[in-house]
Chains A and B, each alone.
Chain A
């Protein structure tokens, strides 16, 4: 059952993709994702899990691996009151769904670390299964939904050009 990872403090790109392991392939880098703040994360994270982080999520360098590694670990959505600009763009272009949440909603008592959740990408609805509440976030416009579902910008363009090519 997917769970919510509520991360405290400011999560920067060095915490997501530690510099020392940047030279390693993605599966190795992934073992160290968030280890500085949540040592339990990389070995217990599962497909469909959702991250709820504080403001300015992903601040730091432009390294694309910071977003890539969360997608690799199966994160269904990253939700935060605000994102660092380059991380936000990188996440979408690599196929990792990122959503902003009203700062006031962060205080909701059900949004606790470990809560059982289900995230619907299409409607951008986060359901908290423990008490059957849900939070509606703003869904992406259709063209970005398609880009994310295709796995990011490059696979999306690959598909688009193949389709265009076959129609000529």
Chain B
């Protein structure tokens, strides 16, 4: 039996047999671009090639980086984006609806078995739906938009096998930071990582998305999860079309999988990654008396509906510590509306949270809320590289929404279980 990665690539390339290292050409089912790396970068190349997009129905455009546009320069980028979308007759355009990696599945664009590319490094998020999805640069994206195909080298699969159930207040983000700490940012070797096992199967889709999203931080090309009933229920609810043969892609382990790493969820504690790498992860309880200026709940990997619910669970009836700010940027407008209807946003507001727009915001170092000189932040985002979220002298700790919320209450980095009482 083939690995899930090979099964997906076999379907996309029409080649029945594949071995790791084979270079093949795949047909692209979906190409996603955003306002930063999208139209403004691909337009000149398509013009040089004298080409329009190959299939307007297979392209999704999202504005999420320069949102809100606060300068003449960023307003010009948004204007260019809107005009290009119109010129190319692209209907799948989500303007200021939230972050691309969250908007794409919530609008039903991702389904098991498809082959997708995204013009953003966190595009592996699509792997949570059993789609082969990875990030490419603007030059390659222009090639895809002109031809509808792309070459790829068939990867090996590195299986991350998780057994047992996660303890209370321990999440997919903690699993991910623990994996970053264990294999490092280059550990994925640009191969296919697949998350499997009982723990992964019991995670809801938005938690699975956190695992796939941060395959980028492991240096992998994709972060796949075999589709199951949870996947299908999500895709159907989002209005997506589930292929009849989706069970063909329900592959966790294959005989040829040689590289398997085992993890025990039951023994996992909340994790915090110290500046300036996600690989600097350790148990949250090891970080004592470390203060900070900003607590941030944001980004595609840390401010989905499920993340807002987690933060509210900690913040309900509590208030943030004096001297710090808590900023929340819900990952999509739809998730924000749902959290408003459920009273989650009210809980966050009562606890002292300030709300930012549904965009990449501080995580991408964009906008006026970026971190200032020497500011320290604890953040539910994916990356804490030096200077990423603002000034070169700023520093970022990464953690789950539970841990960020608990730390916001105490004012120092805190294991949420201490606050909530074990």
A89 to B136, CA, bound (A): 9
Are B140 and A93 interface neighbours, CB within 8 A?
yes
Whether the Cβ atoms of A157 and B143 lie closer than 8 Å is: yes
Determine the chain A residues whose CB is within 8 A of the CB of B221 once the complex forms: 85
| A157 with B49: CB separation less than 8 A | yes
In contact, B51 and A161 (Cβ under 8 angstroms): yes
Task: Please give, as numbers and ranges, the residues of chain B lying within 8 Å of A54 by CB-CB distance.
Answer: none
> Do A93 and B186 contact each other (CB < 8 Å), given the known contacts A62-B121, A144-B151, A158-B49?
no
Q: How close is B191's CB to chain A, nearest CB, in angstroms?
A: 8
B49 near A161 with CB under 8 A, answer yes
A143 within 8 A of B: yes
Would you give the shortest CB distance from B31 to chain A, in whole angstroms? 15
- Give per-residue flags for A138-168: 1 if the beta carbon is below 8 A from chain B beta carbons, else 0: 1011011001000001100110010000000
* A89 in contact with B140 (CB, 8 Å): yes
Among A101-118, those with CB < 8 Å from B are none
Q: CA A59 – CA B21 in complex, angstroms?
A: 19
Bound complex: CA A29 to CA B139 (Å): 20
Q: How far is the CB of A20 from chain B (nearest CB, A)?
A: 14
Given contacts A88-B190, A143-B151, A161-B50, contact A154 B23 (CB under 8 A): no
Q: Which of A33-67 contact B (CB under 8 A)?
A: 56, 59, 62, 64
- A141 CA / B154 CA spacing, docked (Å): 13
Picked from A56, A82, A141, A153, the residue with its CB within 8 Å of the CB of B140 is A153
A65 and B318 alpha carbons, distance in the complex (Å): 51
Assess whether A56 is in contact with B186, with CB atoms less than 8 Å apart: yes
Chain B residues near A84: list those with CB within 8 A: 186, 190, 219
Q: Which residues of A87-144 have CB atoms within 8 Å of chain B's CB atoms? A: 88-90, 92-94, 138, 140-141, 143-144
Q: Which residues of B contact A141 (CB under 8 A)?
A: 23
Given contacts A59-B186, A62-B137, A82-B189, contact A144 B143 (CB under 8 A): no
Contact A93 to B139, CB < 8 A, known contacts A82-B189, A143-B25, A144-B151: yes
Of B121, B151, B153, B221, chain A has the most CB atoms within 10 Å of the CB of B151
| Chain B facing A: main interface SS | mixed
State the CA gap A137–B142 with chains docked (Å): 30
Complex contact B219–A85 (CB within 8 A): yes
- Report the separation of the CA atoms of residues A74 and B401 in the bound assembly, to the nearest whole angstrom: 50
A100 to chain B, nearest CB (A): 8
CA distance A90 to B365 in the complex (A): 25
In the assembled complex, which residues on chain B have CB atoms less than 8 Å from the CB atom of A88?
Answer: 153, 190
Known: A62-B121, A93-B140, A140-B23. A154 touches B190 (CB 8 A): no
Which of A62, A138, A154 is close to B45, meaning CB atoms less than 8 Å apart? A154
Asked if B48 is at the interface (CB within 8 A of a chain A CB), the reply is yes
- Say which size band chain B's interface belongs to: 20 to 34
Q: Which of B89-148 touch A at CB < 8 Å?
A: 121, 136-137, 139-140, 142-143, 146-147
Distance A140 CA – B21 CA, assembled complex (angstroms): 11
Q: A64-B137, A157-B143 are in contact. Are A85 and B49 (CB under 8 A)?
A: no
**CB within 8 Å of A: which of B7-52?**
21, 23, 25, 45, 48-51
Query: Which residues of the partner chain A approach B49 to less than 8 Å between Cβ atoms?
Result: 154, 157-158, 161
Residue of B nearest to A84 (CB): B190
Whole-angstrom distance between the alpha carbons of A140 and B25 in the complex?
Answer: 13
Question: In the complex, how many angstroms separate the beta carbon of A129 from the nearest chain B beta carbon?
Answer: 29
CA–CA, A36 and B221, complex, Å: 29
- A138, B22: Cα distance in complex, Å: 11
Using a CB-CB cutoff of 8 Å, which residues 145-190 of chain B contact chain A?
Answer: 146-147, 151, 153, 186, 189-190
Which B residues are CB-close (under 8 A) to A157? 49, 51, 143, 146-147
Contacts of B219 in A (CB 8 A): 84-85
Q: In the complex, how many angstroms separate the beta carbon of A165 from the nearest chain B beta carbon?
A: 8
Evaluate whether A153 and B143 lie within 8 angstroms (CB atoms) in the complex, with A85-B221, A144-B23 already known.
Answer: yes
A56 to B146, CA, bound (A): 31
User: Which residues of the other chain, B, contact A86 by a CB distance below 8 angstroms?
Assistant: 137, 190
Residue from the list A64, A138, A140 in contact with B139, Cβ < 8 A: A64
- Minimum CB–CB distance from B163 to chain A (whole Å) comes to 29
CA distance A64 to B151 in the complex (A): 17
Kindly list chain A residues whose C-beta atoms are within 8 Å of the C-beta of B25: 143
Which chain A residues numbered 62 to 80 have a C-beta less than 8 Å away from chain B? Answer: 62, 64
Question: Chain A residues near B147 (CB, 8 Å)?
Answer: 157
Closest chain B CB from A94 CB (angstroms):
8
Question: A62-B121, A85-B219, A157-B147 known; A90 and B137 CB under 8 Å?
Answer: yes
Residues of chain B with a CB closer than 8 A to A85's CB: 189-190, 219, 221
Q: Give, as a whole number of angstroms, the nearest-CB distance from A127 to chain B.
A: 24
A15 nearest CB across to chain B (Å): 16
**What separation, in Å, do the CA atoms of A94 and B140 have in the docked complex?**
10
Q: Chain B contacts of A147 at CB under 8 A? A: 151
A-B contact pairs, 21 of them (CB 8 A): A59-B186, A83-B190, A84-B190, A85-B189, A85-B190, A86-B190, A88-B190, A92-B151, A94-B139, A143-B25, A143-B151, A154-B45, A154-B49, A154-B139, A157-B143, A157-B147, A158-B48, A158-B49, A161-B49, A161-B51, A161-B146
